[in-house]
Amino acid sequence: MTLISPSPADLGGRTALVTGAAGGIGRACALRLAAAGAKVRAVDRDAEGLAALDEEAAGRPGSVETLLLDLTDLDAAEQAAAGTDILVNNAGLQLVRPIEDFPPDVFSTVLRVMLEAPFRLIRGALPHMYGQGWGRIVNISSVHGLRASPFKSAYVSAKHGLEGLSKTAALEGAPHGVTSNCLCPGYVRTPLVERQIADQAAAHGIPAERVVTEILLADSAVKRLVEPAEVAELAAYLCTEPASFITGASLTMDGGWTAH
Ligand SMILES: NC(=O)c1ccc[n+]([C@@H]2O[C@H](COP(=O)([O-])OP(=O)(O)OC[C@H]3O[C@@H](n4cnc5c(N)ncnc54)[C@H](O)[C@@H]3O)[C@@H](O)[C@H]2O)c1
């Protein structure tokens, strides 16, 4: 598949901060932005995953510097974002439980990592972006930023909040050359989802392919998972000059899920 891809020259001289970069989509974004020439600061609380990313990034174009940070430390998150040209808010976590059984402390943590931390990261990044009249904020939202599913109260609430934050940042940032957008993927092939597929296959006693097509992708017209690299490609595109008019948008990559 050929997409409009930022070439190595496009993001040369830019610094990018990617949260949740040790795994899945974040890792793909970090590697893609580095391949486009950006100097990437890869943030995660997973030391092992960061070390693996470090190894993988070695010898590739661009540069990746890893930073071990738990985003529940909001002051540290805000400081880490200072001086970046591109911010990818990606870190996230999920707990699937009915509301009456949902632990309040987990609800708070999900909101803290997936909504408060992005607010603080944006807050930390804006002075430099505004100062130079250029910045790109890419928020990895989800179909669940636009639609609800049962048993995912914290995740759906956080993603809907992130959608509002992103649009507000877009309105405030426009006069300063800063864009802010959400990417809204359906199910992406990451370790998190692979585990869900295996669990559901065991629970329902059906093959993994049927879990994907009949359960996860019941509302998706395209019956396959999105690849992390596809999400990273769109994130990288949003950082280019031709994308400067795209702001305040929620770009779905959901195989037609929200077309219903
Ligand atoms: N996988 C999907 O199907 C899917 C679909 C739509 C949206 N998303 C979103 O994409 C993003 C990435 O998801 P993924 O599937 O790659 O998941 P993942 O679990 O592979 O990666 C998430 C990363 O966030 C990090 N993280 C979690 N809490 C953190 C904290 N407190 N401090 C620092 N880092 C922390 C984790 O260590 C992990 O490396 C999430 O925001 C998720 O909601 C995923």
Looking at per-residue pLDDT, the higher value among 196 and 179 belongs to 179
Nearest Cα residue to atom 41 of ligand 1: 92
CB 231 within 8 A of CB 189: no
Global pTM exceeds 0.85: yes
pLDDT at 113 over 70: yes
Per-residue model confidence (pLDDT) at position 5: 58
What CATH code is assigned to 15-187+227-246?
A: 3.40.50.720
**pLDDT, tens digit (0-9, with 9 covering 90-100), for 214-234:** 889 999 999 999 999 999 999
pLDDT-derived band of residue 3, with 50, 70 and 90 as boundaries? Answer: very low
Determine whether the shortest distance from the Cβ of 246 to ligand 1 is under 6 A: no
Q: Catalytic amino acids?
A: 155
pLDDT-derived band of residue 2, with 50, 70 and 90 as boundaries? Answer: very low
pLDDT at 69 over 80: yes
Domain ranges for the chain, please list them.
15-187+227-246, 190-225
In angstroms, how far is the first alpha carbon of the chain from the final one?
26
pLDDT at 92 over 90: yes
pLDDT at 249 over 50: yes
Determine the distance separating the centroid of ligand 1 and the alpha carbon of 36, expressed in angstroms.
Answer: 22
- How far is residue 24's CA from residue 190's CA, in Å, rounded to a whole number? 5
Determine the distance separating the centroid of ligand 1 and the alpha carbon of 175, expressed in angstroms.
Answer: 31
Largest CA distance in the chain: 57
Instruction: Enumerate residues 6+ apart whose C-beta is below 8 A from 9.
Output: 37
Please give the average per-residue pLDDT across 26-46, as a whole number. Answer: 97
CB 53 within 8 A of CB 21: yes
Please give the average per-residue pLDDT across 70-78, as a whole number. Answer: 98
Determine the distance separating the centroid of ligand 1 and the alpha carbon of 154, expressed in angstroms.
Answer: 14
